[in-house]
């Protein structure tokens, strides 16, 4: 994918304009002092911004490119239009590589975002009525995650497996009616469905707090959610370039950890 076609799909282009004409490959030379990183707006962009000062102190120019989907940030790294991205958890990255044939890896685990079950109608699991409508993400890794959250809440039972869909529900005593929608759209459909299981970043973007607004949330134990940790992703073979090492170090600093703890108060949990 060429540069201009990527930029036409960037959610906010102000920081991305300078990418036009920069060329489509990552340089590993010692004088490459521009870092291009793709992010989701919240919380990833906010977290990366805390690392910019340290990187600028080492002579880098940092270009932060926002995306509103879960595909382009990865294809952009694969094709060399970005040096790295920071928006996804380990399970999603692994599934993406398997399904798309990409060659992505990661250099650091940064944080996790407990997934929440949100509703404008219900305030507890016990209130949920027979036939309630439920929206879940439609990508395989996050749909699996959402269904496991609903199982943990006692609402359904699932077959065994690493990748699960609504067809793998083996018990549904409340006859819940499921819709599979893009993860980004879930906060917007809360008025149309009874329940939505929403990724932490999209909940935060919509002003929803998993601590205060979700009536049920994923276990926050960072060790229990190993595959749900959000990572700094890069293309295989670039891990040892100096700028990726410096970016990794900046994103795992005490300053970044303190910012996450103070800003998000448990809705985002640092894991480094």
Q: What is the pLDDT of residues 234-257, one digit of tens each?
A: 999 999 999 999 999 999 999 999
Beta bridge partners of 39: 66, 86
Is residue 204 scored above 70 in pLDDT? yes
- Report the C-alpha gap between 219 and 187 in whole angstroms: 21
Q: Quick one: 88 and 130 in the same domain?
A: no
Residue 99 has pLDDT above 50, yes or no: yes
Same domain, 103 and 120: no
Total domain count for the chain?
Answer: 2
159 and 241 fall within a common domain:
no
Q: Which of 197, 217, 237 is the last residue of a domain?
A: 217
**Rounded Cα gap, residues 188 and 242, in angstroms:** 41
Give the mean pLDDT of 38-50: 97
Question: For position 174, what pLDDT does the model report?
Answer: 98
DSSP H helix total and E strand total for the chain: 8, 13
Alpha-carbon span 48 to 38, nearest angstrom: 10
Asked if pLDDT for residue 19 goes beyond 60, the answer is no
13 and 94 part of one domain: yes
Residues of the chain above pLDDT 90, percent:
85
Question: Does the pLDDT of residue 203 top 70, yes or no?
Answer: yes
* Residue 59: CATH number of its domain: 3.40.190.10
Give yes or no for residue 232 having a pLDDT over 80. yes
Same domain, 105 and 173: no
| Distance (Å, whole) CA 3 – CA 10 | 11
* Residues 127 and 100 placed together within one structural domain of the fold: no
User: Which domain range does residue 100 map to?
Assistant: 3-113+225-270
Whether residues 92 and 78 fall in one domain: yes
| Residue 219 banded pLDDT, cuts 50, 70, 90 | confident
Q: 7 pLDDT exceeds 90? A: no
The band of 224, judged by pLDDT with boundaries at 50, 70 and 90, is low
Same domain, 235 and 103: yes
Helix (H) or strand (E) holding 142: helix 140-152
20/58 same-domain check: yes
Residues 158 and 161: their CA atoms lie apart, in Å, by 9
Is the same domain home to 162 and 250?
no
Residue 194 has pLDDT above 90, yes or no: yes
Residue 10 and residue 99 in one domain: yes
3-state secondary structure of 232: strand
Q: Which of 217, 238, 262 is the last residue of a domain?
A: 217
- The reply to whether 197 and 69 lie within a common domain is no
pTM for the full predicted model? 0.84
Q: What backbone torsions phi and psi does residue 195 show, to the nearest 5 degrees?
A: -145, 140
46-57 helix and 242-251 helix, angle to the nearest 10 degrees: 130
């Amino acid at each position: 994918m060429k540069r201009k076609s990527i930029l036409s799909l960037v959610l906010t282009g102000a920081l991305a304009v300078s990418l036009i004409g920069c060329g489509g490959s990552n340089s590993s030379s010692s004088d490459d002092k521009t870092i291009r990183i793709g992010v989701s707006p919240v919380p990833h962009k906010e977290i990366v911004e805390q690392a910019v000062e340290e990187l600028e102190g080492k002579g880098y120019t940092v270009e932060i490119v926002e995306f509103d989907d879960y595909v382009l940030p990865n294809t952009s790294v694969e094709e060399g239009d970005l040096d790295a991205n920071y928006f996804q958890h380990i399970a999603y990255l692994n599934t993406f590589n398997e399904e798309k044939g990409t060659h992505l890896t990661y250099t650091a685990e940064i944080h996790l975002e407990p997934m929440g079950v949100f509703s404008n109608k219900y305030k507890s699991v016990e209130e949920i009525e027979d036939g309630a409508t439920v929206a879940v993400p439609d990508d395989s890794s996050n749909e699996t995650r959402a269904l496991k959250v609903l199982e943990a809440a006692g609402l359904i039972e699932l077959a065994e497996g690493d990748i699960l869909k609504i067809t793998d529900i083996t018990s549904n005593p409340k006859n819940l009616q499921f819709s599979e929608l893009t993860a980004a759209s879930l906060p917007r459909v809360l008025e149309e469905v009874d329940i939505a299981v929403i990724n932490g970043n999209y909940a935060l973007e919509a002003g929803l707090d998993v601590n205060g607004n979700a009536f049920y949330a994923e276990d926050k134990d960072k060790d229990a959610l190993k595959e749900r940790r959000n990572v700094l992703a890069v293309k295989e073979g670039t891990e040892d370039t100096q700028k990726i090492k410096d970016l990794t170090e900046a994103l795992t600093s005490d300053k970044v950890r303190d910012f996450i703890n103070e800003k998000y108060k448990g809705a985002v949990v640092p894991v480094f």
